[in-house]
Amino acid sequence: MKTLVVGAGALGGYLGACLLRGGRYCTLLVREKRLAQLSEHGLSLRLPNDSFTVTPRAVLAGGLSGEADLVLVTVKSYALTEAMEHFAPAVGRNTAIVPVQNGLAHIDVLSRRFGVDRVMGGMALISAAMNDKGHVNSSFTTAEIALGEQAGGPSLRGEAIAELFEGSATTIKVSESVMLDMWEKFAFLAGGQAVICLMRATMGDIIAAPGGRALLAEACNEARAVATASGFPPRQRGRP
C-alpha cells in the first residue's frame, strides 16, 4: 500500500516514522524548512521505551508522482485548504483519505473536495512534540488512531490500514462508529478547553476553585448538547 503522509510535524512525523521503520512505502509531503531538517537529521522518533531514526522519502508540493492508496492528513485545520491543493495530484479513484485532526469541520471540507466515499473519519490519542532539530518526542509508548467509514459499519480498507501499522508504536482501532467517536472527543475538548481559556488557569486550579467544577460541567454539557443536536449524542460512561 502506497501511503502519503501530509505534514511531518509531531503527529505526521510519528506516523511516518512508524511506517518507514516497518519497511512500508511511505512518502512525506512537507514544506521547505521541514525538508531541510529531514535531509540533515533524518526522521527521529523518541519514545519512553524506544528511540530510532529513519531516512524518509520527503517531497515538496509539486513533487508528487503517481497516486497513493492512502493519504494521512496530519496538518492543522487552518492549513487544510492549502494542503488539499498540494496532495490532490496523489488522489485517485480508489484512494482512501484519513484526516487525523481535532474537530469535525474538516470532514465536510475534504468530502466536498474529494468525494464522501474517499474520506474516512479519524482521530488520534497521542502526546508528541518536536524539538528544534525536528526530532519527534512522545511521552506515550504507543499512539492510538481510531478510523472508520463516515457512514459507520465494518471497513475492509480500515482493516488494511490497521495491518500497515502492525508491530509498530501505533495501534489502529477500526471503529464502526468513528463519527460518534469524533464527536465525543470534540465535546470533551471543547468544554474543557473553553473553560481553561476563559479562566486562564489549569484544570486542577479550576476544579479546586469555588464554582469551578460546576462551570466545567456546564461547559461540557453545552458541548454535549451541540453533539446531540448534530445527531451524535455522546454515550454515557461510568466513572472510573
Question: Range of 133's domain?
Answer: 3-176
Q: Are residues 213 and 144 in the same domain?
A: no
3-state DSSP assignment of residue 206? helix
Q: Are residues 154 and 203 in the same domain?
A: no
Rounded to a whole number of angstroms, the CA Rg of the chain reads: 19
Instruction: Specify the amino acid at residue 73.
Output: V
Q: Within a domain: residue 189? A: yes
**pLDDT tens-digit readout, 4-13:** 999 999 999 9
How would you list the strands of the sheet with 26-29, edge to edge? Answer: 57-59, 26-29, 3-6, 68-73, 91-99
Q: Are residues 17 and 125 in the same domain?
A: yes
> Rounded to an integer, what distance in angstroms lies between the CA atom of residue 202 and that of residue 225?
24
Q: Which of 160, 176, 192 is the last residue of a domain?
A: 176
Cell triple for residue 97? 483519505
> Rounded to an integer, what distance in angstroms lies between the CA atom of residue 98 and that of residue 88?
14
Q: Are residues 203 and 162 in the same domain?
A: no
**pLDDT tens-digit readout, 182-197:** 999 999 899 999 999 9
Structural domain tally of the chain? 2
pLDDT at 239: 44
pLDDT at 171: 96
The answer to whether the beta carbons of residues 22 and 40 sit under 8 Å apart is no
Q: Are residues 64 and 123 in the same domain?
A: yes
Q: Within a domain: residue 240? A: no
> Rounded to an integer, what distance in angstroms lies between the CA atom of residue 135 and that of residue 13?
8
CATH number at 167 reads: 3.40.50.720
Q: Which of 157, 176, 195 is the last residue of a domain?
A: 176
Q: Are residues 83 and 164 in the same domain?
A: yes
Phi, psi of 69 (to 5 degrees): -80, -30
- Spans of the chain, pLDDT less than 50: 239-240
3-state helix, strand, coil in the chain (%, to 5): 45, 25, 30
Q: Are residues 197 and 141 in the same domain?
A: no
Report field, pTM of the whole predicted structure over 0.85: yes
Question: Quick one: CA dihedral 181, 183, 185, 188, positive or negative?
Answer: negative
Instruction: Specify the amino acid at residue 127.
Output: S
Instruction: Specify the amino acid at residue 179.
Output: M
